[in-house]
Chains A and B, each alone.
Chain A
Amino acid sequence: MSMNIVVCVKQVPDTAVERTLRPGDGTLDRESPDGLINELDEYAIEEGLRIAEAQGGEVTILSMGPEKASESVRKALSMGADKAVHVLDAALAGSDALATSLVLAEVLKRTGFDLVILGSESTDARTGVLPAMLAERLGVPQLTLASKVDISGTEVTIRRMTDDGYAVVTGALPAVVSVVEKINEPRYPSFKGIMAAKKKPVETLSLADLPVDADAVGLAGSATAVADFAARPPREAGTVVKDEGDGGAKVAAFLAERKFI
Protein backbone atom coordinates (compact mmCIF):
# COMPACT_ATOMS: atom_id res chain seq x y z
CA MET A 1 0.00 0.00 0.00
CA SER A 2 1.07 3.54 -0.53
CA MET A 3 1.02 5.27 2.81
CA ASN A 4 0.15 8.87 3.44
CA ILE A 5 2.43 9.78 6.36
CA VAL A 6 2.27 13.20 8.00
CA VAL A 7 5.03 14.23 10.42
CA CYS A 8 4.37 17.20 12.71
CA VAL A 9 7.36 19.46 13.23
CA LYS A 10 7.84 22.36 15.62
CA GLN A 11 10.51 25.01 15.56
CA VAL A 12 11.81 25.70 19.07
CA PRO A 13 14.52 27.86 20.67
CA ASP A 14 17.93 26.23 20.81
CA THR A 15 18.24 24.40 24.13
CA ALA A 16 21.95 25.16 24.24
CA VAL A 17 21.36 28.87 24.88
CA GLU A 18 19.56 30.65 27.73
CA ARG A 19 15.83 30.90 27.06
CA THR A 20 13.17 33.16 28.50
CA LEU A 21 9.67 34.50 27.89
CA ARG A 22 8.49 37.89 26.66
CA PRO A 23 7.78 40.27 29.55
CA GLY A 24 4.45 41.52 28.12
CA ASP A 25 2.36 38.39 27.68
CA GLY A 26 4.56 35.54 28.90
CA THR A 27 4.79 33.99 25.45
CA LEU A 28 7.89 32.69 23.77
CA ASP A 29 9.69 34.87 21.25
CA ARG A 30 9.48 32.53 18.27
CA GLU A 31 11.25 34.97 15.95
CA SER A 32 14.46 34.69 17.97
CA PRO A 33 17.50 33.87 15.84
CA ASP A 34 18.37 30.66 17.67
CA GLY A 35 15.38 28.62 16.50
CA LEU A 36 15.84 25.09 15.29
CA ILE A 37 13.82 21.95 14.71
CA ASN A 38 12.57 20.31 17.91
CA GLU A 39 15.03 17.49 18.47
CA LEU A 40 12.52 14.69 18.98
CA ASP A 41 10.78 15.72 15.75
CA GLU A 42 13.91 14.70 13.83
CA TYR A 43 13.37 11.15 15.12
CA ALA A 44 9.74 11.41 13.98
CA ILE A 45 10.85 12.49 10.49
CA GLU A 46 13.40 9.68 10.34
CA GLU A 47 10.78 7.12 11.36
CA GLY A 48 8.35 8.49 8.75
CA LEU A 49 10.98 8.27 6.05
CA ARG A 50 11.92 4.72 7.02
CA ILE A 51 8.29 3.58 6.99
CA ALA A 52 7.70 5.25 3.61
CA GLU A 53 10.85 3.58 2.24
CA ALA A 54 9.78 0.16 3.52
CA GLN A 55 6.06 0.32 2.78
CA GLY A 56 5.92 2.77 -0.10
CA GLY A 57 4.30 6.13 0.36
CA GLU A 58 4.79 9.82 0.85
CA VAL A 59 5.91 11.91 3.82
CA THR A 60 4.30 15.31 4.36
CA ILE A 61 5.68 17.72 6.95
CA LEU A 62 3.14 19.73 8.94
CA SER A 63 4.25 22.72 10.95
CA MET A 64 2.40 25.55 12.66
CA GLY A 65 4.44 28.61 13.48
CA PRO A 66 5.68 31.99 12.32
CA GLU A 67 7.66 32.71 9.14
CA LYS A 68 10.84 31.50 10.90
CA ALA A 69 9.39 28.00 11.19
CA SER A 70 9.96 27.60 7.44
CA GLU A 71 13.62 26.90 8.35
CA SER A 72 12.58 23.72 10.15
CA VAL A 73 10.21 22.82 7.33
CA ARG A 74 13.08 23.11 4.82
CA LYS A 75 15.36 21.03 7.00
CA ALA A 76 12.71 18.31 7.19
CA LEU A 77 12.34 18.39 3.41
CA SER A 78 16.11 18.21 2.98
CA MET A 79 16.14 15.04 5.09
CA GLY A 80 13.90 13.52 2.43
CA ALA A 81 10.24 14.37 3.10
CA ASP A 82 8.22 14.94 -0.05
CA LYS A 83 6.18 18.05 0.67
CA ALA A 84 5.00 20.30 3.48
CA VAL A 85 2.11 22.27 4.88
CA HIS A 86 2.95 25.37 6.90
CA VAL A 87 0.15 26.89 8.96
CA LEU A 88 1.11 30.53 9.23
CA ASP A 89 -1.16 33.14 10.78
CA ALA A 90 -0.38 35.89 13.28
CA ALA A 91 -3.69 35.08 15.01
CA LEU A 92 -2.23 31.72 16.08
CA ALA A 93 0.57 33.25 18.16
CA GLY A 94 0.38 32.26 21.83
CA SER A 95 -1.87 29.23 21.22
CA ASP A 96 -1.71 26.66 24.02
CA ALA A 97 -1.65 22.90 23.44
CA LEU A 98 -5.45 22.62 23.30
CA ALA A 99 -5.69 25.34 20.64
CA THR A 100 -2.71 24.00 18.68
CA SER A 101 -4.17 20.51 18.61
CA LEU A 102 -7.44 21.95 17.26
CA VAL A 103 -5.66 23.59 14.33
CA LEU A 104 -3.42 20.61 13.56
CA ALA A 105 -6.37 18.21 13.69
CA GLU A 106 -8.27 20.30 11.14
CA VAL A 107 -5.26 20.37 8.80
CA LEU A 108 -4.88 16.59 9.17
CA LYS A 109 -8.54 16.08 8.25
CA ARG A 110 -7.86 18.18 5.16
CA THR A 111 -4.65 16.42 4.07
CA GLY A 112 -5.89 12.99 5.07
CA PHE A 113 -3.42 10.54 6.65
CA ASP A 114 -2.67 6.91 7.31
CA LEU A 115 -0.12 7.70 9.96
CA VAL A 116 0.62 10.89 11.91
CA ILE A 117 4.03 10.87 13.60
CA LEU A 118 5.24 13.35 16.21
CA GLY A 119 8.09 13.72 18.67
CA SER A 120 6.73 12.80 22.10
CA GLU A 121 7.33 16.32 23.45
CA SER A 122 8.90 19.63 22.52
CA THR A 123 11.95 21.01 24.27
CA ASP A 124 10.29 24.40 24.87
CA ALA A 125 6.98 23.81 26.65
CA ARG A 126 7.58 20.10 27.32
CA THR A 127 3.88 19.46 27.93
CA GLY A 128 3.91 16.09 26.12
CA VAL A 129 0.14 16.30 25.64
CA LEU A 130 -0.17 17.08 21.93
CA PRO A 131 0.01 13.54 20.46
CA ALA A 132 -2.71 12.35 22.87
CA MET A 133 -4.85 15.40 22.08
CA LEU A 134 -4.56 14.74 18.34
CA ALA A 135 -5.53 11.07 18.74
CA GLU A 136 -8.54 12.15 20.80
CA ARG A 137 -9.61 14.80 18.29
CA LEU A 138 -9.13 12.55 15.26
CA GLY A 139 -10.74 9.51 16.89
CA VAL A 140 -7.88 7.19 15.91
CA PRO A 141 -5.62 4.85 17.94
CA GLN A 142 -3.08 6.59 20.16
CA LEU A 143 0.21 4.71 19.77
CA THR A 144 2.51 7.02 21.66
CA LEU A 145 5.94 7.06 23.37
CA ALA A 146 7.16 4.52 20.84
CA SER A 147 10.71 3.21 20.95
CA LYS A 148 9.90 0.79 18.11
CA VAL A 149 7.21 0.80 15.41
CA ASP A 150 6.21 -2.21 13.30
CA ILE A 151 3.63 -2.08 10.54
CA SER A 152 2.03 -5.24 9.24
CA GLY A 153 -0.78 -4.72 6.76
CA THR A 154 -3.11 -2.24 8.42
CA GLU A 155 -1.90 -3.02 11.96
CA VAL A 156 0.61 -0.89 13.81
CA THR A 157 2.41 -2.35 16.83
CA ILE A 158 4.66 -0.26 19.02
CA ARG A 159 6.82 -0.62 22.08
CA ARG A 160 5.43 2.04 24.39
CA MET A 161 7.98 3.35 26.90
CA THR A 162 6.63 3.10 30.45
CA ASP A 163 8.12 4.16 33.77
CA ASP A 164 9.13 0.59 34.54
CA GLY A 165 9.91 -0.85 31.10
CA TYR A 166 7.70 -1.02 28.06
CA ALA A 167 4.27 -2.14 26.89
CA VAL A 168 3.43 -3.64 23.53
CA VAL A 169 0.48 -1.70 22.09
CA THR A 170 -1.40 -2.44 18.87
CA GLY A 171 -3.91 -0.48 16.82
CA ALA A 172 -5.25 -0.22 13.29
CA LEU A 173 -4.38 2.43 10.72
CA PRO A 174 -5.01 5.32 10.54
CA ALA A 175 -3.23 6.13 13.79
CA VAL A 176 -1.25 8.74 15.71
CA VAL A 177 2.27 7.69 16.72
CA SER A 178 4.70 9.62 18.92
CA VAL A 179 8.33 8.62 19.21
CA VAL A 180 11.07 8.75 21.84
CA GLU A 181 14.69 9.27 20.89
CA LYS A 182 15.67 5.67 21.39
CA ILE A 183 13.75 4.72 18.23
CA ASN A 184 16.35 5.48 15.55
CA GLU A 185 19.30 7.63 14.52
CA PRO A 186 18.08 10.56 12.39
CA ARG A 187 19.91 11.03 9.10
CA TYR A 188 21.74 14.22 8.21
CA PRO A 189 20.50 16.04 5.11
CA SER A 190 22.76 15.29 2.15
CA PHE A 191 23.92 18.04 -0.21
CA LYS A 192 21.62 16.55 -2.84
CA GLY A 193 18.77 16.56 -0.33
CA ILE A 194 19.36 20.20 0.54
CA MET A 195 19.29 21.17 -3.15
CA ALA A 196 16.19 19.07 -3.83
CA ALA A 197 14.35 20.56 -0.83
CA LYS A 198 14.36 23.99 -2.47
CA LYS A 199 12.07 22.70 -5.20
CA LYS A 200 9.69 20.70 -3.00
CA PRO A 201 6.15 22.06 -2.62
CA VAL A 202 5.25 23.90 0.60
CA GLU A 203 1.59 24.81 0.94
CA THR A 204 0.96 27.76 3.26
CA LEU A 205 -2.38 27.80 5.06
CA SER A 206 -3.89 30.60 7.09
CA LEU A 207 -6.70 30.39 9.61
CA ALA A 208 -9.15 31.44 6.89
CA ASP A 209 -8.39 28.20 5.03
CA LEU A 210 -9.50 26.09 8.01
CA PRO A 211 -12.85 25.55 9.71
CA VAL A 212 -11.46 26.93 12.98
CA ASP A 213 -12.98 29.79 14.90
CA ALA A 214 -10.42 32.55 15.49
CA ASP A 215 -11.80 32.88 19.05
CA ALA A 216 -10.63 29.36 19.84
CA VAL A 217 -6.95 29.95 19.08
CA GLY A 218 -4.11 32.33 19.79
CA LEU A 219 -3.26 33.85 23.13
CA ALA A 220 -6.81 35.11 23.76
CA GLY A 221 -8.49 31.87 22.65
CA SER A 222 -6.33 29.56 24.74
CA ALA A 223 -7.74 27.76 27.77
CA THR A 224 -4.65 28.46 29.85
CA ALA A 225 -2.96 31.75 30.70
CA VAL A 226 0.41 32.71 32.10
CA ALA A 227 -0.25 35.03 35.02
CA ASP A 228 3.36 35.80 35.79
CA PHE A 229 6.86 34.46 35.47
CA ALA A 230 10.20 35.08 37.11
CA ALA A 231 13.74 33.91 36.64
CA ARG A 232 14.54 31.27 39.21
CA PRO A 233 16.95 32.70 41.73
CA PRO A 234 20.39 31.47 40.74
CA ARG A 235 21.74 28.70 42.94
CA GLU A 236 24.22 30.01 45.39
CA ALA A 237 27.72 29.03 44.49
CA GLY A 238 28.77 26.13 46.68
CA THR A 239 32.15 24.89 47.76
CA VAL A 240 34.38 23.31 45.13
CA VAL A 241 37.61 21.72 46.28
CA LYS A 242 40.37 19.85 44.51
CA ASP A 243 40.85 16.22 45.44
CA GLU A 244 44.03 15.99 47.51
CA GLY A 245 43.60 12.31 48.19
CA ASP A 246 40.75 12.95 50.61
CA GLY A 247 38.00 13.88 48.12
CA GLY A 248 35.84 10.88 48.94
CA ALA A 249 36.14 11.54 52.67
CA LYS A 250 35.17 15.18 52.14
CA VAL A 251 32.05 14.16 50.23
CA ALA A 252 31.21 11.71 53.04
CA ALA A 253 31.63 14.49 55.61
CA PHE A 254 29.30 16.74 53.60
CA LEU A 255 26.73 13.93 53.34
CA ALA A 256 26.93 13.28 57.08
CA GLU A 257 26.60 16.99 57.91
CA ARG A 258 23.42 17.13 55.77
CA LYS A 259 22.19 13.87 57.34
CA PHE A 260 22.15 11.93 54.08
CA ILE A 261 24.23 9.21 55.75
Chain B
Amino acid sequence: MSEVLVLAEHTADGEVKKVTVELLTAARRLGSPSVVWAGPGAEAGRERLAEFGAERVYVADSADFGDYAVAPAAELLAQLVSEKTPAAVLVAGTTEGKEIAGRLAVKTGSGVLTDATGLSAADDGTPVAEQPNFGGAITVTSRVVRGTPIIAVRPNAISPEPASGAAEITQVSFAASDAAKAARVTEHVVAEKGARPDLTEAQIVVSGGRGTGSAEGFKVIESLADALGAAVGASRAVTDAGWYPHQFQVGQTGKTVSPQLYMAVGISGAIQHRAGMQTSKTIIAVNKDPEAPIFEIADFGIVGDLFTVVPQLLEEIGKHKSL
Protein backbone atom coordinates (compact mmCIF):
# COMPACT_ATOMS: atom_id res chain seq x y z
CA MET B 1 0.00 0.00 0.00
CA SER B 2 1.32 3.43 -0.83
CA GLU B 3 2.64 5.65 1.89
CA VAL B 4 0.78 8.75 3.14
CA LEU B 5 2.80 11.34 5.03
CA VAL B 6 1.18 12.95 8.07
CA LEU B 7 2.87 15.96 9.65
CA ALA B 8 2.42 15.62 13.43
CA GLU B 9 1.41 18.56 15.59
CA HIS B 10 2.93 18.00 18.99
CA THR B 11 4.52 19.66 21.99
CA ALA B 12 8.26 19.51 22.72
CA ASP B 13 7.67 16.85 25.39
CA GLY B 14 5.86 14.56 22.97
CA GLU B 15 2.20 15.25 23.62
CA VAL B 16 0.37 14.50 20.35
CA LYS B 17 -2.30 17.06 19.43
CA LYS B 18 -5.76 15.69 18.75
CA VAL B 19 -5.71 16.88 15.13
CA THR B 20 -2.81 14.51 14.47
CA VAL B 21 -4.85 11.40 15.31
CA GLU B 22 -7.63 12.85 13.12
CA LEU B 23 -5.09 13.12 10.27
CA LEU B 24 -3.98 9.52 10.88
CA THR B 25 -7.60 8.37 10.68
CA ALA B 26 -8.02 10.18 7.35
CA ALA B 27 -4.65 8.97 6.04
CA ARG B 28 -5.66 5.32 6.51
CA ARG B 29 -8.37 5.80 3.88
CA LEU B 30 -5.68 6.68 1.35
CA GLY B 31 -2.84 4.30 2.20
CA SER B 32 -0.34 3.40 4.87
CA PRO B 33 0.28 6.30 7.27
CA SER B 34 3.79 7.53 8.04
CA VAL B 35 4.12 10.28 10.60
CA VAL B 36 6.63 13.06 10.06
CA TRP B 37 7.83 14.28 13.45
CA ALA B 38 9.68 17.59 13.35
CA GLY B 39 11.55 18.41 16.58
CA PRO B 40 11.89 16.64 19.94
CA GLY B 41 9.53 14.30 21.78
CA ALA B 42 8.96 11.47 19.28
CA GLU B 43 9.78 8.65 21.74
CA ALA B 44 7.16 9.96 24.15
CA GLY B 45 4.57 10.44 21.40
CA ARG B 46 5.18 7.11 19.66
CA GLU B 47 2.62 5.04 21.58
CA ARG B 48 -0.21 7.43 20.81
CA LEU B 49 0.70 7.40 17.10
CA ALA B 50 0.73 3.58 17.14
CA GLU B 51 -2.79 3.55 18.63
CA PHE B 52 -4.07 5.40 15.58
CA GLY B 53 -2.43 3.27 12.94
CA ALA B 54 0.88 5.00 12.21
CA GLU B 55 3.14 2.41 10.55
CA ARG B 56 6.30 4.52 10.48
CA VAL B 57 7.51 7.65 12.26
CA TYR B 58 10.16 9.74 10.49
CA VAL B 59 11.90 11.80 13.13
CA ALA B 60 13.99 14.87 12.42
CA ASP B 61 14.96 16.11 15.86
CA SER B 62 16.42 19.46 14.85
CA ALA B 63 16.25 22.74 16.75
CA ASP B 64 15.66 24.52 13.43
CA PHE B 65 11.92 23.80 13.63
CA GLY B 66 11.60 25.86 16.78
CA ASP B 67 14.15 28.51 15.86
CA TYR B 68 12.78 29.39 12.42
CA ALA B 69 9.19 29.81 11.27
CA VAL B 70 7.37 27.55 8.77
CA ALA B 71 10.12 27.08 6.14
CA PRO B 72 12.14 24.27 7.83
CA ALA B 73 9.05 22.04 8.21
CA ALA B 74 8.20 22.56 4.52
CA GLU B 75 11.77 21.70 3.60
CA LEU B 76 11.69 18.47 5.65
CA LEU B 77 8.43 17.42 4.00
CA ALA B 78 9.83 18.21 0.53
CA GLN B 79 12.86 16.03 1.30
CA LEU B 80 10.61 13.14 2.35
CA VAL B 81 8.26 13.60 -0.63
CA SER B 82 11.24 13.26 -2.90
CA GLU B 83 12.60 10.19 -1.04
CA LYS B 84 9.35 8.31 -0.44
CA THR B 85 7.07 9.48 -3.31
CA PRO B 86 3.99 9.28 -1.05
CA ALA B 87 0.41 9.09 -2.33
CA ALA B 88 -0.44 12.26 -0.38
CA VAL B 89 0.76 14.59 2.37
CA LEU B 90 -1.65 15.55 5.14
CA VAL B 91 -1.14 18.50 7.45
CA ALA B 92 -3.32 20.10 10.12
CA GLY B 93 -5.47 22.87 8.66
CA THR B 94 -4.24 25.41 11.18
CA THR B 95 -2.87 28.77 10.02
CA GLU B 96 0.67 27.47 10.33
CA GLY B 97 -0.16 24.07 8.82
CA LYS B 98 -1.65 25.77 5.78
CA GLU B 99 1.47 27.91 5.36
CA ILE B 100 3.68 24.81 5.49
CA ALA B 101 1.39 23.21 2.89
CA GLY B 102 1.68 26.28 0.67
CA ARG B 103 5.47 26.27 0.69
CA LEU B 104 5.56 22.51 0.11
CA ALA B 105 3.22 22.93 -2.88
CA VAL B 106 5.63 25.41 -4.49
CA LYS B 107 8.67 23.24 -3.73
CA THR B 108 7.11 20.13 -5.24
CA GLY B 109 4.96 21.74 -7.95
CA SER B 110 1.90 20.14 -6.39
CA GLY B 111 -1.67 21.15 -5.84
CA VAL B 112 -2.78 22.00 -2.31
CA LEU B 113 -6.30 21.72 -0.88
CA THR B 114 -7.05 23.53 2.35
CA ASP B 115 -9.82 23.21 4.94
CA ALA B 116 -10.76 19.64 4.04
CA THR B 117 -13.54 18.37 6.32
CA GLY B 118 -13.84 15.02 4.58
CA LEU B 119 -11.36 12.85 2.74
CA SER B 120 -11.84 9.70 0.69
CA ALA B 121 -10.08 7.75 -2.03
CA ALA B 122 -11.40 7.84 -5.59
CA ASP B 123 -11.54 4.64 -7.66
CA ASP B 124 -7.97 5.25 -8.79
CA GLY B 125 -6.90 5.70 -5.16
CA THR B 126 -6.25 9.44 -5.40
CA PRO B 127 -7.64 11.62 -2.62
CA VAL B 128 -10.93 13.46 -2.94
CA ALA B 129 -11.44 16.25 -0.43
CA GLU B 130 -14.64 17.82 0.75
CA GLN B 131 -14.29 21.50 1.52
CA PRO B 132 -16.98 23.73 2.98
CA ASN B 133 -16.86 27.04 1.14
CA PHE B 134 -18.30 30.45 1.89
CA GLY B 135 -18.55 29.59 5.55
CA GLY B 136 -20.20 26.26 4.91
CA ALA B 137 -22.90 27.55 2.56
CA ILE B 138 -21.72 25.13 -0.11
CA THR B 139 -19.63 21.98 -0.05
CA VAL B 140 -17.00 21.61 -2.76
CA THR B 141 -15.47 18.28 -3.79
CA SER B 142 -11.92 18.82 -5.03
CA ARG B 143 -8.94 16.87 -6.30
CA VAL B 144 -5.30 17.54 -6.90
CA VAL B 145 -4.47 17.04 -10.56
CA ARG B 146 -0.72 17.70 -10.52
CA GLY B 147 2.14 16.59 -8.30
CA THR B 148 1.74 15.00 -4.87
CA PRO B 149 -1.65 15.84 -3.32
CA ILE B 150 -1.12 18.10 -0.30
CA ILE B 151 -4.16 18.39 1.93
CA ALA B 152 -4.70 20.57 4.99
CA VAL B 153 -7.45 18.97 7.08
CA ARG B 154 -9.59 21.14 9.33
CA PRO B 155 -9.17 20.27 13.02
CA ASN B 156 -12.21 18.65 14.68
CA ALA B 157 -13.80 17.66 11.35
CA ILE B 158 -12.84 13.97 11.28
CA SER B 159 -13.66 11.64 14.19
CA PRO B 160 -10.52 9.83 15.32
CA GLU B 161 -10.78 6.04 15.03
CA PRO B 162 -8.15 3.88 16.74
CA ALA B 163 -6.28 1.21 14.74
CA SER B 164 -3.03 -0.39 15.67
CA GLY B 165 0.15 0.42 13.79
CA ALA B 166 3.83 -0.46 14.19
CA ALA B 167 4.93 3.19 14.56
CA GLU B 168 8.48 2.17 13.78
CA ILE B 169 10.81 5.10 14.36
CA THR B 170 13.32 6.05 11.65
CA GLN B 171 15.73 8.92 12.27
CA VAL B 172 15.93 11.28 9.32
CA SER B 173 19.00 13.37 8.73
CA PHE B 174 17.88 16.94 8.20
CA ALA B 175 19.49 20.36 8.33
CA ALA B 176 17.55 23.43 7.26
CA SER B 177 19.08 25.36 4.37
CA ASP B 178 20.13 28.98 4.86
CA ALA B 179 17.09 30.03 2.82
CA ALA B 180 14.80 28.27 5.32
CA LYS B 181 16.47 30.16 8.18
CA ALA B 182 15.44 33.60 6.91
CA ALA B 183 12.67 34.15 9.48
CA ARG B 184 14.06 33.69 12.98
CA VAL B 185 11.77 33.11 15.98
CA THR B 186 13.23 35.02 18.92
CA GLU B 187 10.43 34.69 21.44
CA HIS B 188 7.27 32.71 22.05
CA VAL B 189 4.59 34.29 24.19
CA VAL B 190 1.79 32.03 25.34
CA ALA B 191 -1.39 33.90 26.13
CA GLU B 192 -3.07 33.15 29.43
CA LYS B 193 -5.80 30.67 28.62
CA GLY B 194 -6.09 28.72 31.83
CA ALA B 195 -7.50 25.23 31.73
CA ARG B 196 -9.92 25.72 28.84
CA PRO B 197 -9.67 23.57 25.71
CA ASP B 198 -8.35 25.01 22.44
CA LEU B 199 -11.06 26.88 20.56
CA THR B 200 -10.67 24.95 17.31
CA GLU B 201 -10.43 21.54 19.02
CA ALA B 202 -13.12 21.95 21.68
CA GLN B 203 -16.19 19.72 21.78
CA ILE B 204 -18.23 22.60 23.17
CA VAL B 205 -17.77 26.29 22.40
CA VAL B 206 -19.62 29.05 24.27
CA SER B 207 -19.46 32.36 22.41
CA GLY B 208 -20.57 35.78 23.52
CA GLY B 209 -21.53 38.76 21.40
CA ARG B 210 -22.51 42.39 21.55
CA GLY B 211 -25.34 41.53 23.93
CA THR B 212 -22.82 41.02 26.75
CA GLY B 213 -22.39 44.80 26.71
CA SER B 214 -18.91 45.09 28.21
CA ALA B 215 -15.77 43.26 29.28
CA GLU B 216 -17.43 42.88 32.69
CA GLY B 217 -20.62 41.53 31.12
CA PHE B 218 -18.58 39.07 29.04
CA LYS B 219 -17.45 37.27 32.20
CA VAL B 220 -20.77 35.42 32.29
CA ILE B 221 -19.70 33.73 29.03
CA GLU B 222 -16.51 32.50 30.70
CA SER B 223 -18.49 31.18 33.67
CA LEU B 224 -20.84 29.26 31.38
CA ALA B 225 -17.93 27.89 29.34
CA ASP B 226 -16.21 26.68 32.50
CA ALA B 227 -19.39 25.02 33.76
CA LEU B 228 -19.59 23.07 30.49
CA GLY B 229 -15.85 22.42 30.12
CA ALA B 230 -16.04 24.48 26.95
CA ALA B 231 -13.81 26.85 25.03
CA VAL B 232 -14.73 30.54 24.95
CA GLY B 233 -15.41 32.27 21.65
CA ALA B 234 -16.40 35.82 20.83
CA SER B 235 -18.06 37.67 17.99
CA ARG B 236 -16.21 40.35 16.13
CA ALA B 237 -18.17 43.12 17.87
CA VAL B 238 -16.70 41.89 21.15
CA THR B 239 -13.08 41.62 20.01
CA ASP B 240 -13.25 44.94 18.13
CA ALA B 241 -14.53 46.61 21.28
CA GLY B 242 -11.67 45.07 23.24
CA TRP B 243 -13.94 43.18 25.64
CA TYR B 244 -12.15 39.91 24.89
CA PRO B 245 -8.86 39.07 23.13
CA HIS B 246 -8.76 38.91 19.37
CA GLN B 247 -7.53 35.31 19.09
CA PHE B 248 -10.90 34.08 20.37
CA GLN B 249 -12.89 35.65 17.54
CA VAL B 250 -15.14 33.19 15.68
CA GLY B 251 -16.22 34.14 12.17
CA GLN B 252 -15.24 34.98 8.63
CA THR B 253 -12.14 36.90 9.69
CA GLY B 254 -11.48 34.85 12.82
CA LYS B 255 -11.43 31.17 13.75
CA THR B 256 -13.65 28.58 12.12
CA VAL B 257 -15.04 26.04 14.58
CA SER B 258 -17.15 22.89 14.21
CA PRO B 259 -17.78 21.63 17.74
CA GLN B 260 -20.44 19.15 18.83
CA LEU B 261 -22.21 22.04 20.56
CA TYR B 262 -21.99 25.76 19.85
CA MET B 263 -23.75 28.19 22.17
CA ALA B 264 -24.21 31.68 20.75
CA VAL B 265 -25.07 34.04 23.58
CA GLY B 266 -26.00 37.63 22.79
CA ILE B 267 -24.86 37.11 19.19
CA SER B 268 -27.19 38.24 16.40
CA GLY B 269 -25.62 35.85 13.89
CA ALA B 270 -24.60 38.10 11.01
CA ILE B 271 -23.42 36.12 7.98
CA GLN B 272 -19.80 36.91 8.90
CA HIS B 273 -20.22 35.17 12.25
CA ARG B 274 -22.19 32.23 10.83
CA ALA B 275 -19.33 31.63 8.38
CA GLY B 276 -17.19 30.61 11.34
CA MET B 277 -19.60 28.29 13.16
CA GLN B 278 -22.49 27.05 11.05
CA THR B 279 -20.97 23.60 10.52
CA SER B 280 -21.29 22.99 14.28
CA LYS B 281 -23.30 19.83 15.04
CA THR B 282 -25.74 21.41 17.49
CA ILE B 283 -26.38 25.13 17.91
CA ILE B 284 -28.08 26.85 20.84
CA ALA B 285 -28.82 30.58 20.74
CA VAL B 286 -29.82 33.05 23.43
CA ASN B 287 -30.75 36.53 22.21
CA LYS B 288 -33.13 39.33 23.16
CA ASP B 289 -34.15 39.99 19.57
CA PRO B 290 -36.62 37.41 18.19
CA GLU B 291 -35.64 38.51 14.66
CA ALA B 292 -31.93 37.74 15.19
CA PRO B 293 -30.71 35.61 12.25
CA ILE B 294 -28.91 33.23 14.64
CA PHE B 295 -32.33 31.68 15.40
CA GLU B 296 -32.64 30.58 11.74
CA ILE B 297 -29.78 28.10 12.23
CA ALA B 298 -30.23 27.28 15.91
CA ASP B 299 -31.47 23.85 16.99
CA PHE B 300 -32.73 25.43 20.15
CA GLY B 301 -33.22 29.11 20.89
CA ILE B 302 -34.33 31.24 23.80
CA VAL B 303 -35.60 34.75 23.16
CA GLY B 304 -34.63 36.53 26.34
CA ASP B 305 -32.10 38.51 28.33
CA LEU B 306 -28.85 36.61 28.60
CA PHE B 307 -28.24 38.12 32.03
CA THR B 308 -31.26 36.28 33.40
CA VAL B 309 -31.13 33.16 31.20
CA VAL B 310 -27.44 32.33 31.72
CA PRO B 311 -27.38 32.63 35.54
CA GLN B 312 -30.42 30.36 35.73
CA LEU B 313 -28.74 27.93 33.33
CA LEU B 314 -25.61 27.95 35.51
CA GLU B 315 -27.71 27.13 38.54
CA GLU B 316 -29.40 24.25 36.67
CA ILE B 317 -26.06 22.89 35.49
CA GLY B 318 -24.87 23.04 39.09
CA LYS B 319 -27.90 21.06 40.27
CA HIS B 320 -27.36 18.52 37.49
CA LYS B 321 -23.73 18.02 38.50
CA SER B 322 -24.66 17.38 42.12
CA LEU B 323 -27.24 14.73 41.20
Interface residues of A (CB under 8 A from B): 15-21, 26, 39-40, 96-98, 101, 120, 123-133, 135-137, 139-145, 147, 157, 160-172, 175, 180-182, 222-232, 235-243, 245-256, 258, 260-261
Contacts and interface: CB of A to CB of B under 8 A. Distances in A.
Interface stretch (B41-49, B82-90, B291-299): B291-299
Contacts of B182: 140-142, 171-172, 175
20 contacts: A15-B272, A21-B138, A131-B99, A133-B106, A160-B185, A163-B95, A164-B191, A168-B186, A168-B187, A171-B182, A171-B183, A171-B184, A175-B183, A223-B105, A223-B144, A225-B145, A227-B143, A243-B309, A247-B286, A258-B261
B192 to A, nearest CB: 9
A127 B137 contact: no
A136 B103 contact: yes
A249 B310 CA distance: 9
Interface in B99-133: 99-103, 105-107, 109-115, 128, 132-133
B78 to A, nearest CB: 10
B147 to A, nearest CB: 6
B231 to A, nearest CB: 12
Contacts of B320: 252, 256, 261
Interface in B240-285: 246-247, 252-253, 260-261, 270-272, 275, 278-279, 282-285
Contacts of A246: 312
A164 B248 CA distance: 10
Q: Which of B69, B143, B179, B182 is packed against the most chain A CB atoms within 10 Å?
A: B69
Given A240-B290, A248-B310, 10 more contacts: A97-B112, A101-B102, A127-B102, A128-B99, A129-B98, A141-B182, A144-B70, A223-B147, A225-B142, A227-B141
Contacts of A226: 140-142
A251 B138 contact: no
Nearest to B105: A98
Interface stretch (B24-32, B159-167, B300-308): B300-308
B99 A254 contact: no
Contacts of A241: 301-303
Contact of A247 (B99, B112, B304): B304
Nearest to A172: B182
Most chain A CB inside 10 Å of its own CB: which residue of B137, B285, B321: B137
Interface in B46-87: 69-71, 74
A224 B142 contact: yes
Contacts of B156: none
The 6 A-B pairs of least Cβ separation, nearest first, read A243-B304, A248-B312, A223-B111, A129-B102, A252-B316, A248-B313
Given A223-B110, A226-B142, A258-B282, A251 B95 contact: no
Nearest to A260: B261
B77 to A, nearest CB: 12
Contacts of B96: 162-163
B139 A170 contact: no
A258 B185 CA distance: 45
Given A167-B69, A243-B304, A126 B115 contact: yes
B144 A142 contact: no
B201 to A, nearest CB: 9
A203 B283 CA distance: 49
Contact of A251 (B179, B275, B313): B313
B136 interface: yes
A261 B303 contact: no
Contact of A260 (B185, B228, B296): B228
B70 A132 contact: yes
B145 A239 contact: no
B198 interface: yes
Contacts of A171: 182-184
A19 B136 CA distance: 11
Nearest to A250: B302
Contact of B95 (A161, A172, A237): A161
Contacts of A254: 284, 300
A135 B103 contact: yes
